[in-house]
C-alpha cells in the first residue's frame, strides 16, 4: 500500500556530504513515522534516524548524532537524510522505511511496515 524509493546515494570522500531522499507513494496518509537504516557487508541492519510524520520528532543513532539530520516534507511525501562529515564507516546500503503504527522504539526494524530497495553510500578515506 506504500511504496518507497530512495535516491541520492553515491561516492563521496571522507568529510564530505550527501543528501538522501525517500519518496513515498500510495497510502501515504497511513504513515506515522519514517526511518533510515543502513546495512554494511557482513553486518545486520542498523538504525540511523527516524522522524514522526506529523509532529516531526526526531531520533538518531549515537553514531550519527550531530552529523546527520532527518527531515520530512509532508506535502511532497518525502523524507530526507542530510549526511555531513561522512566517515568511511558510514559506507553501507541505506534503506528508507515507513511505519503505520506508533511505538516507543523507532530504532527497531520490526516497527516498520514498508521498505525501499536501498541506495548505496560509499565513503572513501
14-to-19, 70, 91 alpha-carbon distances in Å: 15, 20, 10
10-residue mean pLDDT profile of the chain (125 residues): values are: 96 98 95 96 96 90 98 92 98 97 85 96 97
pLDDT, residue 108, reads 94
pLDDT, residue 104, reads 75
| Measured CA angle at 82 (ends 100, 23), to 5 deg | 40
What's the CA gap between 123 and 125, in Å, rounded?
Answer: 7
Amino acid at each position: 500500500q506504500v511504496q518507497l524509493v530512495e535516491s541520492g546515494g553515491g561516492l563521496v570522500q571522507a568529510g564530505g556530504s550527501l543528501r538522501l531522499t525517500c519518496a513515498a507513494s500510495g497510502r501515504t496518509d497511513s504513515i506515522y513515522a519514517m526511518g533510515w537504516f543502513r546495512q554494511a557487508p557482513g553486518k545486520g541492519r542498523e538504525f540511523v534516524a527516524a522522524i514522526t510524520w506529523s509532529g516531526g520528532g526526531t531520533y538518531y543513532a549515537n553514531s550519527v548524532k550531530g552529523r546527520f539530520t532527518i527531515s520530512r516534507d509532508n506535502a511532497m511525501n518525502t523524507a530526507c537524510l542530510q549526511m555531513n562529515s561522512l566517515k568511511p564507516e558510514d559506507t553501507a546500503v541505506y534503506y528508507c522505511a515507513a511505519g503505520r503504527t506508533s511505538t516507543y522504539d523507532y530504532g527497531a526494524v520490526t516497527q516498520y511496515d514498508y521498505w525501499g530497495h536501498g541506495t548505496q553510500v560509499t565513503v572513501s578515506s
